[in-house]
Structure 1
Amino acid sequence: MSSDLADRSLSEFPAAPRTALLLIGLLLVATNFRGPVTGVAPVLGQLREAFALSPAEAGLLTTLPLLAFGVVSPFAALFAREYGLERSLFASLLLIAGGVLLRSAGLAWCLYLGTAVIGVGIAVGNVLLPSLVKRDFPARVATITGACALTMGVSAALMSAAAVPVAAHAGWQMALGMALVLPVLAALVWSRQLSQRSAPAPGTASAPHGGPVWHSAIAWQVTLFIGTNSLLYYLVIAWLPTILTAAGLSATTAGSLHGVMQLATAVPGLFLGPLIGRFKDQKLIAALLSALLGLGLLGLALWPAAATLWAAMFGFASGGTFVLALIFMGLRTRSPQQAATLSGMAQCVGYLLAAGGPSAAGWLHDAIGSWTGVLLIAAAMSVAMGVCGVLAGRDRTIGGAS
């Protein structure tokens, strides 16, 4: 009886349990899109000592996934059209798992190659998961997307908070290797979806191919808004524990605050969507989020004793900015195809722009001799992000009046 049940196709199960299994699988898949990357920063000091890495070389560990996001993300839809959404998402989990194992092998080249493989897996999954949500939960896109954002934040927070204690007792390899539980658990649940083979939704980010979107001022405003936010977010992701320990906090406290910041990024996804619908345009929201983000950076630079407040503020503002940028993909375009092109453009250019952040911050720290100067420069960049956000927040569409 039990073996017969195991062999049955997912389509034979009643609709409600099948939907519940799909939803659980989606949430577990989403846990992999930040945790395996963000758990590196709390043990970055140990990695630098183990491999004699310069700050710029250490920053490359955060840069490599971003390069993968920028290069691979726009082409994930092509992979899904060939092999199906479900199988492509499963393959992304296998890539993440393989990357985690390789990264923890103990050799310098494995550390970097494994990090790059993790980035490729996340890039594929990050693009395709929203497409599956659109297809299977069309009436609850905002709710399901918010739930996925929450699981991303929770998993990232747990990886960050646990990294230092685990490294203290079992070494940095175990601290990085514990992220393996995320893709393995998700793959076990998601394997029940492999009998399905569906194409991505029409609005899925596709390969950049020029055209009017690339010549639109609004498209570039949206792209620079999300790109600058990504640059600042991954800069802080890479260096926050190091910044906090340099300011006198313990490594354990710094790792915990790194987790607080991660968790705070998920909060805006729970309410920002409905709130935005009440406004004629999004200029004020973009300006407020940019101001909060800049204030968080200023606080970390000038008053690190209140780091809990500043880390939570930065995380909240960065998460809200990301949600707002995703909403811009729909509001500033006139068709699903145009939205897909804008999404591909924003992800490609935005992540490639962000890729320079961690290594540049490490180089600036060496040149300036202080993290305060790096944070002040980052805070100034938040002003530029705010300008792009206000321009992108106007009630305009690509091809319309500018």
Structure 2
Amino acid sequence: MSSPAGGTGDGGTGDGGTGDGGTDRATAFAAGAGGLVLAALLLVALNLRAPLTALAPVIDQVAAGLGMSSAGVALLTSIPVLTFAVCTPASAVLVGRWGPERALVVGLLAILVGTLLRSSGSVGAALVGTAVLGIGITLGNVSVPVIITRDFRRRAAGVTGAYTATMNAGSTLTTVFTVPLAVAFGWQWALAGWGVLAAVALVAWVPAGRSLSRRHDGVPTSDTRAQERQRATAQRGLAVLLAIAFAGHTAGYYAMSTWLPTILADRLGFDAATAGSGAAPFQLAAVVGAFLVPLGLAGRLSERTVATVQCVLWLTLPVALLLVPQLWWVGVCLAGAAQGGIFAVIFTLVARRSPSVATARRTSAVVQTGGYACGATAPIALGAVYEATGGWTAPLALLTALLVAMTVALWMAAGPPRVATAPSR
């Protein structure tokens, strides 16, 4: 089948692909089981950001309760993103050995255990629990794109958009409700209580994962070595471009998530409450942005066109803050939608352009390793530039340059594909 950008299948099965012997299984899956798997997958997605964003609203109470310094609190917030960068290569290997179904079960168990450990009341447990939580989310970050590539390739844009929107909805949920829960029950119970999301996802995913495992029993799980070598060479350039694009995106996202309220306060004179409220749409609009990508592609826009529009929208925030700060709210809303859309664009391209599931797993690992490494360091870098220059002009100019690099890389990556893709499902 031709992809929207012109790629054609080559008849190979790919890693986990269905050849002629898998057609009946694929038809049965699409007819019924696919909906149940997708529902379970979205419950998993609720857990891939929500436990992290739950911490920020009660960070002062956590610091006071544990007697932590500001450096210790900063470590609690930075450990997960560092874990994403450091543990993604190992997670990709484990997903390849265990299969994404089992890897997601392990990941959800780690998220549950990490959530409870983080809330147990000691500094050591909080640090270990946060690291365990990050490892669990990393397994999910790697596994979900593999499942989308293998089982939902024909609907990759829509499923990736739903997955991205659900992650952002989970973040919004914990951001809004953690403080009321902390007021009623204390910060430990408020944070630990979000473990229920992981427990519900486990209950849903275990039978869904078993159905996927049975579906793929007896189906070839790899291409020939010659096919893999040929495709790996062609795929390498795409992986590099998407890694650059994701690095720019995550650097922008974590930098703005960290500094946007401060920038609004410093450049526009807002008080803390107003600055915090003004920054909120940057997160909330991502839910809308994640659905703009599949809608655009369904409307027969090319992948390059959709990607370029999202990049331009992302750029409106630093440009507005630099040149027309009175229009900050336009930039916040447009860039908020775009940061959800860019994530969906990048991982839709991973799913659509990877000729096999093994290739998709490796490409996703390369993209996420570099991207999250930049995401972990970007807030520190922008803060250092601010301290050195005494203002936000240079940091915002640096952020603009990163987003321009993202735009160029994604424009190149979203052009007509240079590799053949596996048959779509």
Over 3 Å counting, the alpha-carbon distance change for 1:181 and 1:340 in structure 2 is closer
Residue deviations 1:2-59, cap 9 Å, x none? xxxxxxxxxxxx99886554333222111011111123333445556652214xx655
Per the normalisation by structure 1, the TM-score is 0.77
Residue in 2 that maps onto 1:224: 244
Distance 2:57 2:394 in 1: 21
Distance 1:159 1:231 in 2: 23
Residue in 2 that maps onto 1:99: 114
Distance 1:189 1:25 in 2: 5
Bigger mean CA offset, 137-146 vs 114-123: 137-146
Instruction: Work out whether 1:387 is the aligned partner of 2:402.
Output: no
Instruction: Work out whether 1:291 is the aligned partner of 2:312.
Output: yes
Bigger mean CA offset, 330-339 vs 118-127: 330-339
| Equivalent pair of 1:92/1:121 in contact (CA under 8 Å) | yes
**Structure 1 residue 226 displacement after superposition:** 1.1
Residue in 1 that maps onto 2:127: 112
Residue deviations 1:298-348, cap 9 Å, x none? 445677776654332222111222222223335655555544433222122
Over 3 Å counting, the alpha-carbon distance change for 1:299 and 1:163 in structure 2 is farther
Instruction: Work out whether 1:323 is the aligned partner of 2:344.
Output: yes
| Equivalent pair of 1:59/1:358 in contact (CA under 8 Å) | no
Residue deviations 1:100-159, cap 9 Å, x none? 122223333333322221111111112212333445545444333322222212111121
Aligned to 1:67, what secondary structure does the other structure show? helix
**Structure 1 residue 275 displacement after superposition:** 2.4
Distance 2:270 2:333 in 1: 19
Residue deviations 1:65-117, cap 9 Å, x none? 22222233344354345444433212211111111122223333333322221
Residue in 1 that maps onto 2:375: 354
| Equivalent pair of 1:334/1:397 in contact (CA under 8 Å) | no
Residue in 2 that maps onto 1:248: 270
Residue in 1 that maps onto 2:69: 52
Over 3 Å counting, the alpha-carbon distance change for 1:287 and 1:138 in structure 2 is closer
Distance 1:125 1:32 in 2: 9
| Equivalent pair of 1:265/1:317 in contact (CA under 8 Å) | yes
Residue deviations 1:177-218, cap 9 Å, x none? 343232122223334346557269969xxxxx9x96599554
Distance 1:215 1:17 in 2: 33
Residue in 2 that maps onto 1:312: 333
Q: Which runs of 5+ in 1 are unaligned?
A: 1-13, 204-208
**Structure 1 residue 271 displacement after superposition:** 3.5
| Equivalent pair of 2:182/2:188 in contact (CA under 8 Å) | yes
| Equivalent pair of 2:232/2:359 in contact (CA under 8 Å) | no
| Equivalent pair of 1:228/1:381 in contact (CA under 8 Å) | yes
Of 288, 311, 320, 1:267 maps to: 288
| Equivalent pair of 2:242/2:410 in contact (CA under 8 Å) | yes
Q: Which runs of 5+ in 2 are unaligned?
A: 1-27, 223-228, 421-425
Over 3 Å counting, the alpha-carbon distance change for 1:394 and 1:366 in structure 2 is same
One-letter identity of the residue aligned with 2:241:
Q
Residue in 1 that maps onto 2:136: 121
Over 3 Å counting, the alpha-carbon distance change for 1:191 and 1:360 in structure 2 is same
One-letter identity of the residue aligned with 2:251:
L
Residue in 2 that maps onto 1:89: 104
Instruction: Work out whether 1:237 is the aligned partner of 2:237.
Output: no
Instruction: Work out whether 1:158 is the aligned partner of 2:166.
Output: no
Residue in 2 that maps onto 1:377: 398
Aligned to 2:120, what secondary structure does the other structure show? coil
Over 3 Å counting, the alpha-carbon distance change for 1:115 and 1:291 in structure 2 is same
Over 3 Å counting, the alpha-carbon distance change for 1:113 and 1:368 in structure 2 is farther
| Equivalent pair of 2:119/2:191 in contact (CA under 8 Å) | yes
Distance 2:134 2:95 in 1: 17
Instruction: Work out whether 1:148 is the aligned partner of 2:170.
Output: no
**Structure 1 residue 229 displacement after superposition:** 0.4
| Equivalent pair of 2:92/2:362 in contact (CA under 8 Å) | no
Bigger mean CA offset, 125-134 vs 360-369: 360-369
| Equivalent pair of 1:41/1:239 in contact (CA under 8 Å) | no
Q: Percent identity?
A: 33
One-letter identity of the residue aligned with 1:229:
H
Residue in 1 that maps onto 2:25: none
Of 7, 21, 25, 2:40 maps to: 25
Distance 1:381 1:121 in 2: 29
Distance 2:321 2:184 in 1: 29
RMSD: 3.9
One-letter identity of the residue aligned with 1:79:
L
Distance 1:248 1:122 in 2: 35
One-letter identity of the residue aligned with 2:367:
A
Distance 2:113 2:255 in 1: 25
Residue in 2 that maps onto 1:341: 362
Over 3 Å counting, the alpha-carbon distance change for 1:309 and 1:45 in structure 2 is farther
Distance 2:175 2:348 in 1: 28
Q: Which has the higher contact order (CA 8 A, sep 6+)?
A: 2
Aligned to 2:46, what secondary structure does the other structure show? helix
Residue in 1 that maps onto 2:14: none
**Structure 1 residue 280 displacement after superposition:** 5.3
Distance 1:371 1:138 in 2: 43
